[in-house]
Chain A
Amino acid sequence: MSDAIEVGLTIFVLATFIGFEVIRRVPGLLHTPLMSLTNSISGIALVGSLILAGAARGTLATVLGTIAVAASTINVVGGFLITDRMLRMFRRREPRPAAPSAAAADTKAEPGGAR
Protein backbone atom coordinates (compact mmCIF):
# COMPACT_ATOMS: atom_id res chain seq x y z
CA MET A 1 0.00 0.00 0.00
CA SER A 2 2.75 2.43 0.87
CA ASP A 3 4.31 1.69 -2.52
CA ALA A 4 1.15 2.87 -4.24
CA ILE A 5 1.23 6.10 -2.22
CA GLU A 6 4.84 6.79 -3.12
CA VAL A 7 4.32 6.10 -6.81
CA GLY A 8 1.14 8.19 -6.86
CA LEU A 9 2.77 11.18 -5.20
CA THR A 10 5.84 10.91 -7.42
CA ILE A 11 3.67 11.01 -10.53
CA PHE A 12 1.75 13.96 -9.14
CA VAL A 13 4.84 16.02 -8.37
CA LEU A 14 6.62 15.24 -11.63
CA ALA A 15 3.51 15.89 -13.72
CA THR A 16 3.05 19.23 -11.96
CA PHE A 17 6.58 20.26 -12.88
CA ILE A 18 6.15 19.10 -16.48
CA GLY A 19 2.89 21.02 -16.56
CA PHE A 20 4.57 24.24 -15.42
CA GLU A 21 7.41 23.89 -17.93
CA VAL A 22 5.20 23.05 -20.88
CA ILE A 23 2.48 25.56 -20.14
CA ARG A 24 4.89 28.43 -19.53
CA ARG A 25 5.57 28.31 -23.26
CA VAL A 26 1.96 28.80 -24.28
CA PRO A 27 1.57 32.39 -25.52
CA GLY A 28 -1.17 34.71 -24.26
CA LEU A 29 -2.75 34.40 -27.69
CA LEU A 30 -3.71 30.81 -26.91
CA HIS A 31 -4.65 31.12 -23.24
CA THR A 32 -8.35 30.53 -23.81
CA PRO A 33 -7.82 27.39 -25.94
CA LEU A 34 -5.31 26.25 -23.30
CA MET A 35 -7.93 26.58 -20.61
CA SER A 36 -10.57 24.74 -22.61
CA LEU A 37 -8.11 21.99 -23.59
CA THR A 38 -6.92 21.40 -20.03
CA ASN A 39 -10.54 21.44 -19.00
CA SER A 40 -11.40 18.67 -21.43
CA ILE A 41 -8.30 16.76 -20.37
CA SER A 42 -9.53 17.04 -16.78
CA GLY A 43 -12.62 15.29 -18.11
CA ILE A 44 -10.33 12.31 -17.47
CA ALA A 45 -12.39 12.17 -14.27
CA LEU A 46 -14.50 10.07 -16.64
CA VAL A 47 -12.07 7.19 -16.05
CA GLY A 48 -12.75 7.16 -12.33
CA SER A 49 -16.46 7.66 -12.90
CA LEU A 50 -16.65 4.69 -15.28
CA ILE A 51 -14.97 2.41 -12.77
CA LEU A 52 -17.48 3.52 -10.14
CA ALA A 53 -20.55 3.25 -12.36
CA GLY A 54 -19.73 -0.12 -13.88
CA ALA A 55 -18.34 -2.13 -10.99
CA ALA A 56 -21.78 -3.15 -9.62
CA ARG A 57 -20.96 -2.11 -6.07
CA GLY A 58 -24.51 -1.25 -5.02
CA THR A 59 -27.18 1.31 -5.82
CA LEU A 60 -25.44 4.36 -4.35
CA ALA A 61 -22.26 3.71 -6.33
CA THR A 62 -24.20 3.16 -9.55
CA VAL A 63 -26.32 6.30 -9.11
CA LEU A 64 -23.44 8.63 -8.21
CA GLY A 65 -21.22 6.96 -10.81
CA THR A 66 -23.81 7.44 -13.53
CA ILE A 67 -24.18 11.14 -12.75
CA ALA A 68 -20.39 11.48 -12.66
CA VAL A 69 -19.99 9.72 -16.02
CA ALA A 70 -22.58 12.03 -17.60
CA ALA A 71 -20.96 15.15 -16.10
CA SER A 72 -17.43 14.29 -17.17
CA THR A 73 -18.57 13.16 -20.63
CA ILE A 74 -20.05 16.64 -21.12
CA ASN A 75 -16.60 18.06 -20.37
CA VAL A 76 -14.73 15.69 -22.65
CA VAL A 77 -17.06 15.97 -25.64
CA GLY A 78 -17.94 19.64 -25.28
CA GLY A 79 -14.40 20.64 -24.37
CA PHE A 80 -12.68 19.05 -27.35
CA LEU A 81 -15.32 20.32 -29.77
CA ILE A 82 -15.08 23.90 -28.57
CA THR A 83 -11.29 23.89 -28.49
CA ASP A 84 -11.31 22.70 -32.07
CA ARG A 85 -13.75 25.43 -33.08
CA MET A 86 -11.57 28.03 -31.40
CA LEU A 87 -8.30 26.85 -32.89
CA ARG A 88 -9.78 26.77 -36.38
CA MET A 89 -10.46 30.50 -36.04
CA PHE A 90 -6.86 31.48 -35.43
CA ARG A 91 -5.57 32.63 -38.80
CA ARG A 92 -2.12 33.78 -39.56
CA ARG A 93 -2.74 36.11 -42.47
CA GLU A 94 -5.45 38.25 -43.93
CA PRO A 95 -7.76 36.33 -46.25
CA ARG A 96 -7.31 38.23 -49.53
CA PRO A 97 -10.09 37.32 -51.95
CA ALA A 98 -9.63 40.62 -53.88
CA ALA A 99 -6.20 39.85 -55.35
CA PRO A 100 -6.11 36.21 -56.54
CA SER A 101 -2.45 36.29 -57.57
CA ALA A 102 -1.31 37.51 -54.19
CA ALA A 103 -3.54 34.97 -52.43
CA ALA A 104 -2.06 32.14 -54.48
CA ALA A 105 1.45 33.25 -53.60
CA ASP A 106 0.39 33.37 -49.98
CA THR A 107 -0.90 29.82 -49.82
CA LYS A 108 2.18 28.58 -51.60
CA ALA A 109 4.37 30.23 -49.02
CA GLU A 110 2.34 28.83 -46.12
CA PRO A 111 3.71 25.26 -45.69
CA GLY A 112 7.33 26.33 -45.63
CA GLY A 113 6.50 29.50 -43.76
CA ALA A 114 6.62 28.00 -40.30
CA ARG A 115 8.88 30.22 -38.29
Chain B
Amino acid sequence: MSDQAVSFAYLAAGILFILALKWLSHPLTARRGLLMGEIGMVLAVGSTLMKAEIVDFQWILIALFIGTAIGIPLGQFVPMTAMPQRIAFSHAFGALAAALVGTAEYALRRPEIDRFTMGALGFEVVLGFLTFTGSLIAFGKLQGIVRDKPVLFRGQNVLNLAVLATAVVLVVVLVVDPGLSVVFPVMIGLALLYGVSFVLRIGGADMPVVISLLNSLAGLSGAAMGLVLNNHVLILAGALDGSSGFLLSLIMSRAMNRSFGNVLFGGFGAETTAEGGAGPPRPVRSSSAEEAAMILSAARTVVIVPGFGMAAAQAQHKVRELADLLVRRGTDVKFAIHPVAGRMPGHMNVLLAEANVPYERLYDLEHINPEFPDTDVALVIGANDVVNPAARHDASSPIYGMPILDVDKANCVMVIKRSMRSGFAGIENELFYLDRTMMLFGDAKAMAGEIVDEVAKLPGAVTAVA
Protein backbone atom coordinates (compact mmCIF):
# COMPACT_ATOMS: atom_id res chain seq x y z
CA MET B 1 0.00 0.00 0.00
CA SER B 2 1.43 3.36 -0.94
CA ASP B 3 1.96 5.99 1.71
CA GLN B 4 -0.69 8.11 0.11
CA ALA B 5 -3.28 5.33 0.30
CA VAL B 6 -2.40 4.82 3.95
CA SER B 7 -2.92 8.55 4.57
CA PHE B 8 -6.38 8.41 3.01
CA ALA B 9 -7.26 5.38 5.11
CA TYR B 10 -6.13 7.33 8.20
CA LEU B 11 -8.27 10.28 7.17
CA ALA B 12 -11.30 8.01 6.80
CA ALA B 13 -10.57 6.48 10.20
CA GLY B 14 -10.40 9.95 11.74
CA ILE B 15 -13.80 10.89 10.29
CA LEU B 16 -15.26 7.64 11.61
CA PHE B 17 -13.90 8.36 15.11
CA ILE B 18 -15.56 11.78 15.12
CA LEU B 19 -18.85 10.26 13.94
CA ALA B 20 -18.53 7.62 16.66
CA LEU B 21 -18.42 10.30 19.35
CA LYS B 22 -21.14 12.35 17.68
CA TRP B 23 -23.57 9.43 17.66
CA LEU B 24 -22.78 8.67 21.25
CA SER B 25 -24.85 11.72 22.16
CA HIS B 26 -28.07 9.70 22.23
CA PRO B 27 -28.74 6.17 23.48
CA LEU B 28 -30.69 5.34 20.31
CA THR B 29 -27.72 6.05 18.03
CA ALA B 30 -24.93 5.11 20.45
CA ARG B 31 -24.40 1.60 19.13
CA ARG B 32 -24.15 2.89 15.59
CA GLY B 33 -21.46 5.23 16.88
CA LEU B 34 -19.62 2.33 18.45
CA LEU B 35 -19.71 0.47 15.12
CA MET B 36 -18.17 3.50 13.40
CA GLY B 37 -15.40 3.52 15.99
CA GLU B 38 -14.74 -0.16 15.37
CA ILE B 39 -14.62 0.24 11.60
CA GLY B 40 -12.31 3.23 12.00
CA MET B 41 -9.96 1.21 14.18
CA VAL B 42 -9.89 -1.76 11.78
CA LEU B 43 -9.16 0.63 8.92
CA ALA B 44 -6.36 2.41 10.78
CA VAL B 45 -4.72 -0.78 12.01
CA GLY B 46 -5.19 -2.67 8.73
CA SER B 47 -3.63 0.06 6.62
CA THR B 48 -0.76 0.45 9.10
CA LEU B 49 0.05 -3.23 8.70
CA MET B 50 0.31 -2.66 4.95
CA LYS B 51 2.83 0.14 5.32
CA ALA B 52 6.13 -0.51 3.58
CA GLU B 53 8.09 0.17 6.80
CA ILE B 54 6.69 -2.90 8.49
CA VAL B 55 8.77 -5.86 7.42
CA ASP B 56 8.80 -8.16 10.42
CA PHE B 57 5.44 -9.65 11.39
CA GLN B 58 6.51 -12.37 13.78
CA TRP B 59 6.43 -10.33 16.99
CA ILE B 60 3.48 -8.28 15.87
CA LEU B 61 1.37 -11.40 15.49
CA ILE B 62 2.47 -12.76 18.84
CA ALA B 63 1.69 -9.45 20.55
CA LEU B 64 -1.67 -9.08 18.81
CA PHE B 65 -2.53 -12.59 19.93
CA ILE B 66 -1.53 -11.93 23.56
CA GLY B 67 -3.37 -8.61 23.62
CA THR B 68 -6.53 -10.16 22.19
CA ALA B 69 -6.32 -13.08 24.60
CA ILE B 70 -6.21 -10.67 27.55
CA GLY B 71 -8.59 -8.13 26.04
CA ILE B 72 -11.49 -10.48 25.36
CA PRO B 73 -11.98 -11.62 28.98
CA LEU B 74 -11.42 -8.04 30.18
CA GLY B 75 -14.16 -6.88 27.84
CA GLN B 76 -16.55 -9.77 28.03
CA PHE B 77 -16.52 -11.11 31.57
CA VAL B 78 -15.73 -8.25 33.94
CA PRO B 79 -19.00 -7.56 35.82
CA MET B 80 -20.59 -4.12 35.48
CA THR B 81 -20.16 -3.58 39.21
CA ALA B 82 -16.38 -3.63 38.67
CA MET B 83 -16.57 -1.02 35.92
CA PRO B 84 -14.77 1.87 37.69
CA GLN B 85 -11.65 -0.20 38.38
CA ARG B 86 -11.88 -1.83 34.95
CA ILE B 87 -11.84 1.58 33.25
CA ALA B 88 -9.02 2.85 35.47
CA PHE B 89 -7.03 -0.28 34.65
CA SER B 90 -7.45 0.14 30.90
CA HIS B 91 -6.05 3.68 30.98
CA ALA B 92 -2.80 2.15 32.18
CA PHE B 93 -2.36 0.11 28.99
CA GLY B 94 -2.77 2.84 26.40
CA ALA B 95 -0.47 5.09 28.39
CA LEU B 96 2.14 2.36 28.75
CA ALA B 97 2.13 1.75 25.00
CA ALA B 98 2.70 5.44 24.28
CA ALA B 99 5.45 5.69 26.88
CA LEU B 100 7.30 2.64 25.56
CA VAL B 101 7.10 3.79 21.96
CA GLY B 102 8.48 7.17 23.03
CA THR B 103 11.31 5.54 24.94
CA ALA B 104 12.30 3.41 21.96
CA GLU B 105 12.10 6.35 19.58
CA TYR B 106 14.44 8.30 21.80
CA ALA B 107 16.90 5.45 22.02
CA LEU B 108 16.91 5.03 18.24
CA ARG B 109 16.95 8.65 17.15
CA ARG B 110 18.87 10.18 20.07
CA PRO B 111 21.66 12.15 18.45
CA GLU B 112 19.75 13.98 15.75
CA ILE B 113 16.32 14.69 17.20
CA ASP B 114 15.10 18.18 16.39
CA ARG B 115 13.88 20.30 19.30
CA PHE B 116 10.19 20.22 18.58
CA THR B 117 10.13 16.44 18.24
CA MET B 118 12.14 16.10 21.42
CA GLY B 119 9.64 18.26 23.30
CA ALA B 120 6.70 16.21 22.05
CA LEU B 121 8.60 13.02 22.85
CA GLY B 122 9.34 14.24 26.37
CA PHE B 123 5.68 14.94 27.01
CA GLU B 124 4.66 11.63 25.49
CA VAL B 125 6.99 9.72 27.80
CA VAL B 126 6.31 11.75 30.98
CA LEU B 127 2.52 11.73 30.50
CA GLY B 128 2.56 8.09 29.47
CA PHE B 129 4.51 6.83 32.47
CA LEU B 130 2.73 8.98 35.05
CA THR B 131 -0.65 7.92 33.66
CA PHE B 132 0.52 4.31 33.78
CA THR B 133 1.35 4.27 37.50
CA GLY B 134 -1.46 6.71 38.36
CA SER B 135 -4.02 4.44 36.71
CA LEU B 136 -2.64 1.40 38.50
CA ILE B 137 -2.99 3.17 41.87
CA ALA B 138 -6.52 4.32 40.95
CA PHE B 139 -7.32 0.73 40.02
CA GLY B 140 -5.87 -0.46 43.34
CA LYS B 141 -7.97 2.03 45.29
CA LEU B 142 -11.20 1.15 43.49
CA GLN B 143 -10.49 -2.56 43.81
CA GLY B 144 -9.75 -2.16 47.51
CA ILE B 145 -6.09 -3.21 47.26
CA VAL B 146 -4.87 0.29 48.13
CA ARG B 147 -6.49 2.30 50.94
CA ASP B 148 -9.43 4.34 49.64
CA LYS B 149 -8.83 7.29 51.98
CA PRO B 150 -6.38 9.91 50.76
CA VAL B 151 -2.83 9.39 51.95
CA LEU B 152 -1.75 12.78 53.26
CA PHE B 153 1.30 14.14 55.01
CA ARG B 154 2.80 17.52 55.67
CA GLY B 155 4.61 19.08 52.75
CA GLN B 156 3.13 16.56 50.36
CA ASN B 157 1.96 19.13 47.84
CA VAL B 158 5.35 20.77 47.74
CA LEU B 159 7.06 17.42 47.35
CA ASN B 160 4.66 16.26 44.62
CA LEU B 161 4.97 19.47 42.69
CA ALA B 162 8.73 19.35 43.03
CA VAL B 163 8.77 15.87 41.51
CA LEU B 164 6.60 16.95 38.60
CA ALA B 165 8.49 20.21 38.10
CA THR B 166 11.82 18.36 38.02
CA ALA B 167 10.47 15.98 35.39
CA VAL B 168 9.35 18.94 33.27
CA VAL B 169 12.73 20.64 33.73
CA LEU B 170 14.42 17.46 32.53
CA VAL B 171 12.23 17.52 29.41
CA VAL B 172 13.43 21.07 28.82
CA VAL B 173 17.04 19.97 29.37
CA LEU B 174 16.57 17.27 26.74
CA VAL B 175 15.05 19.74 24.32
CA VAL B 176 18.13 21.92 24.72
CA ASP B 177 20.52 19.00 24.45
CA PRO B 178 18.88 15.81 23.12
CA GLY B 179 22.20 13.98 23.39
CA LEU B 180 22.18 14.09 27.19
CA SER B 181 20.87 10.56 27.49
CA VAL B 182 21.61 10.07 31.22
CA VAL B 183 18.74 12.43 31.95
CA PHE B 184 16.17 10.25 30.19
CA PRO B 185 15.88 7.39 32.73
CA VAL B 186 15.75 9.91 35.59
CA MET B 187 12.86 11.64 33.85
CA ILE B 188 11.06 8.30 33.50
CA GLY B 189 11.63 7.52 37.18
CA LEU B 190 10.19 10.86 38.27
CA ALA B 191 7.15 10.43 36.03
CA LEU B 192 6.48 6.98 37.48
CA LEU B 193 6.87 8.35 41.01
CA TYR B 194 4.60 11.31 40.37
CA GLY B 195 1.82 9.06 39.06
CA VAL B 196 1.86 7.12 42.33
CA SER B 197 2.07 10.09 44.70
CA PHE B 198 -0.50 12.12 42.78
CA VAL B 199 -3.26 9.50 42.91
CA LEU B 200 -2.43 8.27 46.42
CA ARG B 201 -3.63 11.55 47.85
CA ILE B 202 -7.00 11.42 46.10
CA GLY B 203 -9.93 10.06 48.10
CA GLY B 204 -12.61 7.70 46.81
CA ALA B 205 -15.36 10.25 46.15
CA ASP B 206 -13.01 12.36 44.02
CA MET B 207 -12.31 9.39 41.78
CA PRO B 208 -14.71 10.55 39.01
CA VAL B 209 -12.47 13.58 38.44
CA VAL B 210 -9.26 11.60 38.54
CA ILE B 211 -10.43 8.78 36.28
CA SER B 212 -11.52 11.35 33.70
CA LEU B 213 -8.23 13.17 34.03
CA LEU B 214 -6.22 9.97 33.53
CA ASN B 215 -8.38 9.26 30.48
CA SER B 216 -7.43 12.67 29.15
CA LEU B 217 -3.71 12.26 29.88
CA ALA B 218 -3.58 8.87 28.16
CA GLY B 219 -5.10 10.50 25.07
CA LEU B 220 -2.70 13.45 25.16
CA SER B 221 0.22 11.08 25.45
CA GLY B 222 -1.05 9.32 22.31
CA ALA B 223 -1.41 12.66 20.51
CA ALA B 224 2.17 13.53 21.46
CA MET B 225 3.24 10.20 20.01
CA GLY B 226 1.48 11.19 16.81
CA LEU B 227 3.49 14.42 16.70
CA VAL B 228 6.73 12.48 17.19
CA LEU B 229 5.93 9.92 14.50
CA ASN B 230 4.21 12.49 12.27
CA ASN B 231 1.18 10.20 12.24
CA HIS B 232 -2.04 12.14 11.73
CA VAL B 233 -4.56 9.57 12.86
CA LEU B 234 -2.69 9.24 16.15
CA ILE B 235 -2.78 13.00 16.68
CA LEU B 236 -6.47 13.18 15.89
CA ALA B 237 -7.60 10.23 18.01
CA GLY B 238 -5.34 11.28 20.88
CA ALA B 239 -6.72 14.82 20.78
CA LEU B 240 -10.30 13.51 20.81
CA ASP B 241 -9.57 11.34 23.82
CA GLY B 242 -7.69 14.15 25.52
CA SER B 243 -10.48 16.68 25.09
CA SER B 244 -13.14 14.17 26.10
CA GLY B 245 -11.41 13.24 29.33
CA PHE B 246 -10.63 16.86 30.11
CA LEU B 247 -14.22 17.94 29.54
CA LEU B 248 -15.50 15.11 31.74
CA SER B 249 -13.18 16.05 34.57
CA LEU B 250 -14.32 19.67 34.30
CA ILE B 251 -17.96 18.57 34.45
CA MET B 252 -17.20 16.43 37.48
CA SER B 253 -15.33 19.19 39.30
CA ARG B 254 -18.13 21.62 38.58
CA ALA B 255 -20.67 19.15 39.92
CA MET B 256 -18.77 19.30 43.21
CA ASN B 257 -18.38 23.08 42.99
CA ARG B 258 -14.66 22.65 43.34
CA SER B 259 -11.87 23.84 41.19
CA PHE B 260 -9.67 21.38 39.43
CA GLY B 261 -6.78 22.37 41.66
CA ASN B 262 -8.80 21.84 44.79
CA VAL B 263 -9.58 18.25 43.83
CA LEU B 264 -6.00 17.51 42.84
CA PHE B 265 -4.25 19.26 45.70
CA GLY B 266 -7.00 19.68 48.31
CA GLY B 267 -7.05 16.27 50.00
CA PHE B 268 -10.73 16.75 50.84
CA GLY B 269 -12.06 15.03 53.91
CA ALA B 270 -8.90 14.99 55.96
CA GLU B 271 -9.06 18.60 57.14
CA THR B 272 -12.77 18.74 57.80
CA THR B 273 -13.36 15.63 59.87
CA ALA B 274 -12.85 17.52 63.13
CA GLU B 275 -16.04 19.47 62.49
CA GLY B 276 -18.24 16.38 62.31
CA GLY B 277 -17.56 15.01 65.76
CA ALA B 278 -18.40 18.22 67.59
CA GLY B 279 -21.62 18.67 69.55
CA PRO B 280 -23.89 16.21 71.33
CA PRO B 281 -25.57 13.52 69.25
CA ARG B 282 -28.91 14.74 67.94
CA PRO B 283 -31.98 12.51 67.76
CA VAL B 284 -32.90 10.91 64.46
CA ARG B 285 -36.05 9.02 63.57
CA SER B 286 -35.09 5.44 62.92
CA SER B 287 -37.73 3.38 61.21
CA SER B 288 -38.49 -0.09 59.88
CA ALA B 289 -38.92 -1.62 56.45
CA GLU B 290 -42.56 -2.22 57.31
CA GLU B 291 -43.34 1.44 57.93
CA ALA B 292 -41.35 2.47 54.86
CA ALA B 293 -43.34 0.00 52.73
CA MET B 294 -46.63 1.44 53.99
CA ILE B 295 -45.65 5.01 53.19
CA LEU B 296 -44.19 4.05 49.81
CA SER B 297 -47.26 2.13 48.77
CA ALA B 298 -49.47 5.10 49.61
CA ALA B 299 -47.27 7.55 47.69
CA ARG B 300 -48.22 8.85 44.25
CA THR B 301 -44.75 10.02 43.32
CA VAL B 302 -41.46 8.49 44.46
CA VAL B 303 -37.99 9.67 43.51
CA ILE B 304 -35.15 7.25 44.19
CA VAL B 305 -31.71 8.80 44.75
CA PRO B 306 -28.91 6.23 44.46
CA GLY B 307 -25.36 6.84 45.64
CA PHE B 308 -22.13 4.96 46.09
CA GLY B 309 -23.76 2.97 48.92
CA MET B 310 -26.05 1.30 46.39
CA ALA B 311 -23.05 0.34 44.26
CA ALA B 312 -21.05 -0.90 47.25
CA ALA B 313 -23.92 -3.10 48.44
CA GLN B 314 -24.74 -4.13 44.84
CA ALA B 315 -28.34 -3.27 45.64
CA GLN B 316 -29.31 -2.16 42.12
CA HIS B 317 -31.36 -5.27 41.32
CA LYS B 318 -33.34 -5.10 44.56
CA VAL B 319 -33.89 -1.39 43.98
CA ARG B 320 -35.22 -2.09 40.50
CA GLU B 321 -37.54 -4.75 41.97
CA LEU B 322 -38.86 -2.19 44.39
CA ALA B 323 -39.36 0.36 41.62
CA ASP B 324 -41.17 -2.22 39.45
CA LEU B 325 -43.42 -3.18 42.31
CA LEU B 326 -44.36 0.43 42.97
CA VAL B 327 -44.89 1.15 39.27
CA ARG B 328 -47.25 -1.80 39.06
CA ARG B 329 -49.23 -0.30 41.93
CA GLY B 330 -49.61 2.87 39.92
CA THR B 331 -46.90 4.93 41.57
CA ASP B 332 -44.86 7.34 39.49
CA VAL B 333 -41.24 6.28 40.10
CA LYS B 334 -38.23 8.29 38.94
CA PHE B 335 -34.53 8.01 39.58
CA ALA B 336 -32.48 11.12 40.31
CA ILE B 337 -28.83 10.85 39.30
CA HIS B 338 -26.25 13.26 40.66
CA PRO B 339 -23.32 13.72 38.26
CA VAL B 340 -20.73 12.67 40.83
CA ALA B 341 -22.71 9.88 42.50
CA GLY B 342 -20.42 6.86 42.59
CA ARG B 343 -16.83 6.49 41.56
CA MET B 344 -16.79 7.40 37.87
CA PRO B 345 -18.79 9.57 35.49
CA GLY B 346 -22.12 7.86 34.75
CA HIS B 347 -21.55 5.13 37.37
CA MET B 348 -25.18 5.03 38.60
CA ASN B 349 -26.57 5.02 35.06
CA VAL B 350 -24.59 1.95 34.12
CA LEU B 351 -25.57 0.07 37.27
CA LEU B 352 -29.26 0.85 36.85
CA ALA B 353 -29.12 -0.02 33.15
CA GLU B 354 -27.58 -3.34 34.12
CA ALA B 355 -30.52 -3.90 36.48
CA ASN B 356 -32.89 -3.23 33.53
CA VAL B 357 -34.13 0.15 34.66
CA PRO B 358 -35.15 1.92 31.45
CA TYR B 359 -33.19 5.13 30.92
CA GLU B 360 -36.36 7.14 30.47
CA ARG B 361 -36.82 6.82 34.24
CA LEU B 362 -33.39 8.32 34.97
CA TYR B 363 -33.28 12.08 35.48
CA ASP B 364 -30.31 14.32 35.95
CA LEU B 365 -30.00 17.05 38.51
CA GLU B 366 -31.46 20.01 36.58
CA HIS B 367 -34.50 18.03 35.44
CA ILE B 368 -35.44 16.44 38.72
CA ASN B 369 -34.82 19.25 41.21
CA PRO B 370 -37.94 21.28 40.30
CA GLU B 371 -40.02 18.16 40.96
CA PHE B 372 -38.99 17.50 44.57
CA PRO B 373 -41.59 19.86 46.14
CA ASP B 374 -44.31 17.75 44.47
CA THR B 375 -42.70 14.46 45.41
CA ASP B 376 -44.34 12.35 48.09
CA VAL B 377 -41.30 10.26 48.97
CA ALA B 378 -37.64 10.78 48.20
CA LEU B 379 -35.84 7.50 48.82
CA VAL B 380 -32.10 8.05 49.29
CA ILE B 381 -30.05 4.88 48.93
CA GLY B 382 -26.44 5.15 50.05
CA ALA B 383 -25.99 8.79 49.07
CA ASN B 384 -24.90 11.46 51.52
CA ASP B 385 -22.98 14.55 50.49
CA VAL B 386 -24.93 14.96 47.23
CA VAL B 387 -28.17 15.43 49.21
CA ASN B 388 -26.79 17.59 52.04
CA PRO B 389 -28.84 20.83 52.23
CA ALA B 390 -25.89 22.56 53.90
CA ALA B 391 -24.46 22.94 50.39
CA ARG B 392 -27.27 25.43 49.69
CA HIS B 393 -27.21 27.67 52.75
CA ASP B 394 -24.24 27.02 55.06
CA ALA B 395 -21.40 29.16 53.78
CA SER B 396 -19.02 27.62 56.33
CA SER B 397 -19.59 24.09 55.04
CA PRO B 398 -16.81 22.60 52.92
CA ILE B 399 -19.39 21.55 50.33
CA TYR B 400 -21.11 24.96 50.24
CA GLY B 401 -22.15 25.85 46.70
CA MET B 402 -22.04 22.29 45.39
CA PRO B 403 -25.17 21.56 43.34
CA ILE B 404 -27.23 19.02 45.27
CA LEU B 405 -30.41 17.04 44.77
CA ASP B 406 -33.07 18.89 46.78
CA VAL B 407 -34.53 15.81 48.46
CA ASP B 408 -35.24 17.80 51.62
CA LYS B 409 -38.05 19.54 49.73
CA ALA B 410 -39.98 16.30 49.31
CA ASN B 411 -42.90 15.59 51.63
CA CYS B 412 -41.15 12.60 53.13
CA VAL B 413 -37.52 11.56 52.97
CA MET B 414 -36.28 8.03 53.55
CA VAL B 415 -32.58 7.38 53.88
CA ILE B 416 -31.15 3.89 53.66
CA LYS B 417 -27.74 4.02 55.29
CA ARG B 418 -25.50 1.62 57.14
CA SER B 419 -24.87 3.87 60.14
CA MET B 420 -24.78 7.51 61.17
CA ARG B 421 -21.18 7.79 60.02
CA SER B 422 -20.61 10.93 58.04
CA GLY B 423 -20.08 10.86 54.29
CA PHE B 424 -16.90 11.25 52.36
CA ALA B 425 -16.58 14.95 53.07
CA GLY B 426 -16.70 14.13 56.78
CA ILE B 427 -19.47 16.58 57.55
CA GLU B 428 -22.82 16.27 59.32
CA ASN B 429 -25.87 16.01 57.12
CA GLU B 430 -28.82 17.96 58.58
CA LEU B 431 -31.11 16.07 56.22
CA PHE B 432 -31.00 13.12 58.60
CA TYR B 433 -32.39 15.21 61.49
CA LEU B 434 -35.41 16.69 59.69
CA ASP B 435 -38.85 15.87 61.10
CA ARG B 436 -39.95 14.35 57.82
CA THR B 437 -36.87 12.21 57.43
CA MET B 438 -36.92 8.56 58.44
CA MET B 439 -33.67 6.66 58.67
CA LEU B 440 -33.57 3.02 57.60
CA PHE B 441 -30.37 1.62 59.01
CA GLY B 442 -28.92 -1.38 57.26
CA ASP B 443 -27.17 -2.71 54.21
CA ALA B 444 -28.76 -1.16 51.11
CA LYS B 445 -29.39 -4.50 49.43
CA ALA B 446 -30.87 -6.18 52.52
CA MET B 447 -33.03 -3.16 53.36
CA ALA B 448 -34.32 -2.77 49.81
CA GLY B 449 -35.12 -6.50 49.82
CA GLU B 450 -37.06 -6.17 53.09
CA ILE B 451 -39.06 -3.24 51.75
CA VAL B 452 -39.85 -5.22 48.59
CA ASP B 453 -41.18 -8.10 50.73
CA GLU B 454 -43.24 -5.76 52.86
CA VAL B 455 -44.74 -3.92 49.88
CA ALA B 456 -45.59 -7.24 48.23
CA LYS B 457 -47.50 -8.29 51.36
CA LEU B 458 -49.72 -5.24 51.27
CA PRO B 459 -53.15 -5.61 49.71
CA GLY B 460 -54.12 -3.95 46.47
CA ALA B 461 -50.90 -4.76 44.66
CA VAL B 462 -52.66 -5.72 41.42
CA THR B 463 -55.33 -3.08 41.18
CA ALA B 464 -53.26 -0.63 39.21
CA VAL B 465 -52.52 -3.01 36.33
CA ALA B 466 -56.21 -3.62 35.57
Interface residues of A (CB under 8 A from B): 1, 4-5, 7-9, 11-13, 15-20, 22-58, 60-62, 64-95, 98-99, 114
Cβ-defined contact, B21 with A78, below 8 A: no
Q: A19-B244, A31-B344, A49-B100 are in contact. List 12 more A-B contacts (CB 8 A).
A: A28-B339, A28-B346, A38-B21, A47-B234, A55-B56, A58-B108, A61-B108, A69-B59, A70-B67, A73-B64, A76-B45, A92-B359
**How many angstroms between the C-alpha atoms of A96 and B265 in the bound complex?**
49
20 A-B interface contacts by CB (under 8 A) = A8-B230, A19-B242, A27-B364, A32-B345, A33-B30, A35-B215, A36-B90, A37-B24, A51-B51, A51-B231, A52-B104, A55-B53, A55-B54, A64-B100, A67-B96, A72-B94, A74-B67, A74-B93, A91-B356, A99-B465
A-side contacts of B360, CB under 8 Å:
92-93
Chain B, 329-350, CB within 8 A of any chain A CB: 337, 339, 344-347, 349-350
Complex CA–CA separation, A82 to B51 (angstroms):
30
Per-residue CB proximity of B66-84 to A under 8 Å, as 1/0?
Answer: 1110111011101010010
Residues of B within 8 A of A77 (CB): 67-68, 71-72, 75
User: Which residues of the partner chain B approach A41 to less than 8 Å between Cβ atoms?
Assistant: 17, 20, 37, 40-41, 237, 240-241
Q: Is the CB of B349 within 8 A of A72?
A: no
Contacting residues, chain B, for A66 (C-beta < 8 A): 59-60, 62-63
Question: Contact between A89 and B66 (Cβ–Cβ < 8 Å)?
Answer: no
Which residues of chain B are within 8 angstroms of A42 by Cβ–Cβ distance? 94, 215, 218-219, 222, 237-238, 241
Chain B residues packing against A (C-beta within 8 Å): 14, 17-18, 20-22, 24-28, 30-31, 33-34, 37-38, 40-41, 44-45, 48-49, 51, 53-57, 59-60, 62-64, 66-68, 70-72, 74-76, 78, 80, 83, 86-87, 90-91, 93-94, 96-98, 100-101, 103-105, 107-108, 114, 116, 211-212, 215, 218-219, 221-223, 225-227, 229-245, 247-248, 324, 327, 337, 339, 344-347, 349-350, 353-354, 356, 358-360, 362, 364, 465
| Alpha-carbon distance between A56 and B57 when the two chains are bound, in angstroms | 9
Query: Within 8 Å CB of A70, what residues of B?
Result: 63-64, 66-67, 70
In the complex, the chain B residue whose C-beta lies closest to that of A114 is B28
A84 touching B34, Cβ below 8 Å: yes
Q: Are B91 and A32 in contact (CB under 8 A)?
A: no
Contact between chains at A27 and B68 (CB < 8 Å):
no
Interface centre among B51, B56, B67 (most CB of A within 10 A): B67
Q: How far is the CB of B336 from chain A (nearest CB, A)?
A: 12
**Ranked 10 nearest A-B pairs via Cβ:** A73-B67, A81-B75, A77-B71, A19-B243, A31-B346, A54-B54, A32-B346, A15-B239, A31-B345, A69-B63
Assembly CA distance A60 to B33 (angstroms): 38
Contact between A32 and B349 (Cβ–Cβ < 8 Å)? yes
Query: How many Å lie between the Cα of A63 and that of B62 in the bound state?
Result: 12
A19 touches B60 (CB 8 A): no
A109 smallest CB distance to B (angstroms): 13
Q: CA–CA, A4 to B324, complex, Å?
A: 59
Contact across chains for B232 and A11 when beta carbons are under 8 A apart? yes
Q: Is the CB of B25 within 8 A of A35?
A: no
